[in-house]
Structure 1
């Protein structure tokens, strides 16, 4: 498999001004490949680092793993404010097409907005499996539906980020970018029954970012015959792979087992 495509992704990240290694795209290629690939798609205002540990676990199990950097991430909120949804979609598609051309079976996993992009990919390409971490149909903030108008008056939404995580998450989230999420949701909602890849959904009642029950609603609409959902409690936050999740190891284990093994139908 030629990695020229990945070299171009790295070059783009450097050209865009990504300075930290953790915020650049990553590609993990095992010596003994199982000929299966996984694309790990990070969330809005985050970076590939968000899913890197999961990538390392899959790599140890023989998967070739790609963590794309969505344009506008790992740089600045000002950069993110200029990036349209089409750029995020194109980045994910390039990864899939590179793996498919090399004969790999490809799965996709995403966290939050990354989960929505994984669903979007499933509508465009044949995925072996799809893993959705904290997916949603609606954000919890009551002003989210009005972001298209609000962006003309308020450019950014401020978010509290722990000091240790600030190099990897934006404290200011551009409303212009949140509007792109709204566009993606409007595209996905009526098409969820068309998605048939085996799916696992992980979410939590302690998630204060997305509307309560929205992950379950998304799960119910999926057209997959083989699908499962696991809901964590109030102690678990939105970023399921983050250091503040007390159930983080359970999340990583469930993800690895699902992608490596046959999915179990029904809820858990």
Structure 2
């Protein structure tokens, strides 16, 4: 059963068996047809230093997080990329989903890692970054990396999405052929409204968060307002926090080859988590 608005919070539900096999079966049952769009686990060659929960963005899929997962697994971390409900299937599926369902999936991903390691970090892309912040309110994350986080969208429908969703179901955009298998060309207007609801939640909790945070935005981002990423950074109650602003040549997606500074971005992510992990000493 999906968690809808007004339903019990994820942390109030009885514990259930969570495994990558079950998560993949859920994806297949929901209609995921491509292997790359299923949730995945990347394991290090030796004992894991800790776990990293990777959360993709709106209309994307776990495929979006493969590069940071591979880099972090090589650095010794156990990496799990979740699939947000409504993603990797069809735009019609996403149109009926709520941000509470996305939060539930992220919390389930956390539990999968927490059963295998005593420290869990997070790396989130855009919407995934905001979902990690809501997770940090209820679960003890050791630190998070927020890639292209935002408090304001540049989407022209965003301000009126709450009303428009009753009259307009989708907004179309153009996608390069090579990205079409992993992203949606049609963006549900109700999904944009769910982003608006998620941002409202994040705004309320920022001051109370104390975990270490790395924020990376890009000047060339035409999807969100990068200045709102800086605003998010300033509002965070964390004392250990860093903000990096990449140049005009970098757009919204920071985790794929679309980012001309991908190697630098991956180095920033790995370096930040490495420093946090070394400060905490040997784990499980």
The TM-score by the shorter chain falls in which range? over 0.9
Conservation of the 8 A alpha-carbon contact between 1:35 and 1:104: no
Q: Which residue of 2 aligns with 1:163?
A: 177
Q: Which residue of 1 aligns with 2:36?
A: 22
Q: How many residues align?
A: 261
1:150 corresponds to which of 164, 169, 172: 164
1:244 corresponds to which of 258, 273, 277: 258
Q: Distance in 2 between matches of 1:175 and 1:100?
A: 34
2:227 corresponds to which of 210, 213, 218: 213
3-state SS in 1 of match to 2:245: strand
> Where does 1:67-216 land on structure 2 (aligned, <5 Å)?
67-216=81-230
RMSD across aligned C-alpha pairs, in angstroms?
Answer: 1.4
CA offset digits 1:87-139 (Å, max 9, x no partner): 11111111212322334200111001001001111111111111000000010
2:66 corresponds to which of 33, 38, 52: 52
Q: Which runs of 5+ in 2 are unaligned?
A: 1-16, 278-284
Conservation of the 8 A alpha-carbon contact between 1:81 and 1:176: yes
Q: What TM-score results when the alignment is normalised by the length of structure 1?
A: 0.94
- Runs ≥4 in structure 1, deviation > 4 angstroms? none
Q: Which residue of 1 aligns with 2:241?
A: 227
Conservation of the 8 A alpha-carbon contact between 2:147 and 2:254: yes
Q: Which residue of 2 aligns with 1:266?
A: none
Q: Which runs of 5+ in 1 are unaligned?
A: 264-268
Q: Distance in 2 between matches of 1:66 and 1:85?
A: 20
Q: Distance in 2 between matches of 1:146 and 1:139?
A: 12
CA offset digits 1:15-67 (Å, max 9, x no partner): 01111110000011224123400000000000001011110111111100000
3-state SS in 2 of match to 1:147: helix
3-state SS in 2 of match to 1:202: strand
